[in-house]
A = this chain, B = another copy of it.
Amino acid sequence: VHEKEIEIRWRDVDAYRHVNNAVYLTYLEEARDEWLEGVLGRDSENLWDFVLARIAIDYRSELTQEDDVVVARCGLQAIGTSSFRTKEQLLGPGGRIAAEAEAVIVARNRAAGEARALSAQERSALEAVLEG
């Protein structure tokens, strides 16, 4: 499981004085991108060959400016033919769960703009993660 500390910005907070629900996805994205870059290699051009197909997020507790820092976690949950599924979390101070999420990322043929099968190399990199 990859973990990333993210500082909460004043701009992240809305008129309810809580971090806005859409910003939770920005936090998750930061950890997911970094995790994926670690799994598939530093050649960031690879990352353009994947696309986010689904996120389901459960908001568990509110984040505020006073929380200052959020920890975003991303790990692999399952591998499909042309996609994989992550399990993600946002944690406030003291490990309090702010959100739990799942994301589905699909391999894409960039030229065709269509889903494609995971390459053998991508699959083995992902399987190495699953087996920990």
Interface residues on A, range: 20 to 34
> A43 to B125, alpha carbons, bound, how many Å?
42
A15's contact among B29, B58, B65, by CB below 8 Å, is which?
Answer: B65
A64-100 near B? 1/0 per residue, CB < 8 Å = 0100000000000000000000000000000000000
Chain B residues whose C-beta falls within 8 Å of the C-beta of A26 in the assembled complex: 9-11, 20, 22
> A30 to B15, alpha carbons, bound, how many Å?
14
> A23 to B22, alpha carbons, bound, how many Å?
7
A25 within 8 A of B: yes
A21 within 8 A of B: yes
Task: Evaluate contact between B10 and A7: CB separation under 8 angstroms.
Answer: no
Task: Evaluate contact between B52 and A30: CB separation under 8 angstroms.
Answer: no
A14's contact among B6, B13, B54, B62, by CB below 8 Å, is which?
Answer: B13
State the Cβ distance, A65 to closest chain B Cβ, in Å: 7
Which positions in A face B, CB cutoff 8 Å? Answer: 6-7, 9-11, 13-17, 20-23, 25-26, 29-30, 33, 48, 51-59, 62, 65
